[in-house]
Structure 1
Amino acid sequence: MRQRPIGTATRGTTNPNRLRRMDRWIAAAHGPALRRADTPVAVDLGYGAAPWTAVELLARLRTAEPRTAVAGIEIDPERVAAAKPYEREGLTFVHGGFEIPLAVRPTLIRAANVLRQYDEDQVAEVWARLRSRLAPDGLLVEGTCDEIGRRHVWVALGPEGPRTVTFATRLGSLERPSDLAERLPKALIHRNVPGEPVHAFLRDFDRAWAAASPYASLGARQRWIAAVRAVAGDWPVADGVRRWRQGEVTVGWDALRPNSP
């Protein structure tokens, strides 16, 4: 007998194009792994009350690897039933939860806006469960964004554990980098306090942003690039100008890892 799905239903809020920043980053950063996979399968975990994010994930990942298939997994059976009419070649919808009830180990699990309702001390267990379901070259991307996808922060994890944290924003809507703090994933959002590494990073980023104000006359993108270049002198920034131009910056997890309780 099949086990009961593991997890709790989310509010289900979703909007078309909400996860575009995360999707584009995944396609760029994880595209080589998708191309290496014998069977490249991606999971949109907890896609919500409508199937748009899974539909969009398939389209974006297929720009990196046309063989990619996407499985949308939802713990609410009514949401799965509502999504079934959208199935097509390479896109399926499955009833399940953190156990990831697929016959193959996925090359990607994306969990966006899923863990916000969980306690911080539950995150490590969920991460470990999802990582255990990954293919050897797989990636778990877990994070949070606002309702229309202007601000987004996510953690990328391999089977061995967390690797990086990415901050992404629509630059025209940004007053200062620390505005992104409200979208920190559950593992970090309660750690944005003095003495914690993520707080120190956002403080330094705000200072670099202020110092880069002369670049504002050239546009928010140039100011962002100048600010990221400045913080990269003190923090392990893991990407380059090509990604910075998208309103992104990726930092090594070890530098932002929360202090022990």
Structure 2
Amino acid sequence: MPTRAAASRPLGTITRGTTNPNRLRRMDRWIVATHGAELRRADDPLAVDLGYGAAPWTAVELLHRLRAVAPRARVSGVEIDPVRVAAAGPYARAGLDFRRGGFEVPLPGRPLLIRAANVLRQYDEAEVPGVWRRLCARLAPASAHSRGGLLVEGTCDEIGRRHVWVALGPEGPRTVTFAARLGSLDRPSDLAERLPKALIHRNVPGEPVHAFLRDFDRAWAAAAPYASYGARQRWTRTVRDLTADWPVTDGPARWRQGEVTVRWGALAPRG
């Protein structure tokens, strides 16, 4: 039987802690656009920045961005490393706190949002489903008037130019979003290096995500004439062509932001 100390130990391992100001702006922009209404309607719009890293910039920025659409939003930064929690203390304010914890998400309430960026990168692929289930179980449940909480889990580069994330509800994974500063791409498959852990090792022939990125590159090549109007016009045309064969869930307003969102079931690993 585990001791009390073992039972209270946070779940997970300490990450490298790499972080930079504005690194998660693309993910935050998408969250605000797609989940802002849920946050605004909630009695207690609680969000969690899980594994915020060696500095609390991303949690501070998340509070600012969420409050632009949901003024009552509050954010709790959760880190497994007590040194990082202590270092973040001076940045706490009304609506923003920091606490030690891991995948158990040690909060008294049920968050309407858990953002876990660059957290699962160091874990084995086989560990991801269990972490997802645990985090989804902590989300606010769905109701007659709400789809419930949202877990956004993904990976980005060091300065946030390229990002891929999975969005999950209490019921499990819903969508995969690819987002980029379009001027940084030679082709859409450049985003493959930022696939989340659940997909990055599946970018091989025979797997859906590999087929998707292949078709994405082909559509990008076919849209080359639109490059004279700018990378945004080329991307928009490319995604429009993708909709013929892939279940894209968003529209031109998101495509113009350098994004495209696809149903999880179309890209989920085989087996």
TM-score by length of 1: 0.99
Is 1:85 matched up with 2:96? no
Structure 1 residue runs of 5 or longer lacking an equivalent are none
SS of equivalent residue, structure 1 residue 97: coil
> Which residue of structure 2 lines up, in the alignment, with residue 210 of structure 1?
221
Q: Give the distance between the partners of 1:64 and 1:254, measured in 2 at CA.
A: 30
Q: Give the distance between the partners of 2:135 and 2:162, measured in 1 at CA.
A: 24
Is 1:102 matched up with 2:113? no
> Which residue of structure 2 lines up, in the alignment, with residue 144 of structure 1?
155
Structure 2 residue runs of 5 or longer lacking an equivalent are 142-147
TM-score by length of 2: 0.95
Is 1:201 matched up with 2:212? yes
Aligned residues: 260
1:249 Cα deviation (Å)? 0.1
Match of 2:257 among 246, 253, 256: 246
1:36 Cα deviation (Å)? 1.9
> Which residue of structure 2 lines up, in the alignment, with residue 42 of structure 1?
47
**Paired letter, 2:138:** R
1:157 Cα deviation (Å)? 0.1
> Which residue of structure 1 lines up, in the alignment, with residue 35 of structure 2?
30
> Which residue of structure 1 lines up, in the alignment, with residue 24 of structure 2?
19
Is 1:224 matched up with 2:235? yes
Q: Give the distance between the partners of 1:253 and 1:199, measured in 2 at CA.
A: 14
SS of equivalent residue, structure 1 residue 135: coil
Q: Give the distance between the partners of 1:238 and 1:62, measured in 2 at CA.
A: 26
Is 1:114 matched up with 2:122? no
1:63 Cα deviation (Å)? 1.2
SS of equivalent residue, structure 1 residue 32: helix
Shift >2 Å, 4+ stretches: none
Q: Give the distance between the partners of 1:213 and 1:202, measured in 2 at CA.
A: 17
Q: Give the distance between the partners of 1:237 and 1:62, measured in 2 at CA.
A: 29
CA RMSD of aligned residues (A): 0.7
1:35 Cα deviation (Å)? 1.4
Q: Give the distance between the partners of 2:113 and 2:204, measured in 1 at CA.
A: 32
> Which residue of structure 1 lines up, in the alignment, with residue 182 of structure 2?
171
> Which residue of structure 1 lines up, in the alignment, with residue 14 of structure 2?
9
1:151 Cα deviation (Å)? 0.2
1:174 Cα deviation (Å)? 0.7
SS of equivalent residue, structure 2 residue 8: coil
Is 1:181 matched up with 2:186? no
**Paired letter, 2:193:** E
1:32 Cα deviation (Å)? 1.3
Report percent identity of matched pairs. 78
Q: Give the distance between the partners of 1:33 and 1:194, measured in 2 at CA.
A: 38
> Which residue of structure 2 lines up, in the alignment, with residue 157 of structure 1?
168
Q: Give the distance between the partners of 1:223 and 1:182, measured in 2 at CA.
A: 22
1:131 Cα deviation (Å)? 0.4
